Structure 1
Amino acid sequence: FRTLPDVELHNLYGPTEASVDVTAHACDPKETGPTVPIGGPVWNTGLRVLDAWLQPVPPGVPGELYLTGAQLARGYWDRPALTAERFVADPFDTTGNGSRMYRTGDIVRRTTDGHLEYLGRTDD
């Protein structure tokens, strides 16, 4: 990628439970970090990086990625226990509509410029 002239590379991230792409990052050939960021939210998507007590973590601190937005699935077909585990009430909802967050199981950290870096999984 870095050696090809006029070639763009975009890193898109997203689980199936949220209409596939929820973040995007336009890669810069000058980036030299140890990871390729997964970027920031696409339209109509909310991202939260939370600790085990559903509290936001500061930039640079790993946490679990939670997703919000209209593109989320409503749950898993005929799997109410798994749905209850992964689609949880959004404690930050200010609409009063009972919105939910999807618990991805992915560990990320927010960079100082607001982008996300994927670090791994909570469940290996």
Structure 2
Amino acid sequence: QILLLDMHHIISDGVSIGILLKEWAALYEEKELAPLKIQYKDYSEWQRESCQKDRLKKQEEYWLSVFQDDIPVLNMPTDFPRPQMQSYEGDRIAFAIERELTDKLKRTAKENGVTMYMLLLAGYTILLSKYTGQEDIIVGSPIAGRTREELEHTVGMFVNTLALRNHPKGGRSFIEYLQDVKENTFNAYENQD
């Protein structure tokens, strides 16, 4: 027997695929599934209702303040001119980070009260700043968008992209900048709706 599931990416995210596979395996083993606390339509209703609430207005104000100035375009130097017709050609470089360096990164993150993601984001934005000479860097970061516990076992499309704006300016220590990245990341996640 072959089972083929074909879903458009607009109806499910990566977490949903895990839920579907887990529930399918449970049903195959003739186990009973726990009743759903909520369905995707409930989430849709929350979204619709929240459009009229103060919470969403406050989040809108947050994002308008983050992007009140001109939005910079990353001016990456390239080794050849961009083609007139957009191309999606590219390459992939795979590498492994040695355990010793990984341990140092984990220790640095722990000592500074940040996640590994925040630490690497700080390093990445500094790298982009060095390549471009720009001190205003925006990085789009995909997030799961499952902000309520009830959504953890719900199938649907919850993914969002956060535009994380940071300013890796010279004259400050990396640790000072890392704290800014931490604060900016927390604020963005608090206003992710």
Q: Normalising to structure 2: TM-score of the pair?
A: 0.18
Highest CA radius of gyration, 1 or 2?
2
Normalized per residue, which structure has more strand? Answer: 1
Q: Which has the bigger relative contact order, CA under 8 A and spacing at least 6?
A: 2
Normalized per residue, which structure has more helix? Answer: 2
Q: Normalising to structure 1: TM-score of the pair?
A: 0.25
